[in-house]
Amino acid sequence: MTFIGVLNEMYSMVDIFEDLITRSTPESDAYKYAELTKCNSKFCGVLWFLVNFLFILLTVYLIAAIQVNEFDK
Residue 44 C-alpha from the chain's centroid:
12
Residue 54, pLDDT score: 92
Domain ranges of the chain: 10-72
Q: For each of the chain's 73 residues, which pLDDT tens digit applies?
A: 677 877 888 888 888 888 777 777 777 777 888 889 888 888 888 888 899 899 888 988 988 888 876 666 6
37: Cβ contacts below 8 Å, ≥ 6 apart: 44
Instruction: Indicate yes or no: pTM above 0.75.
Output: no
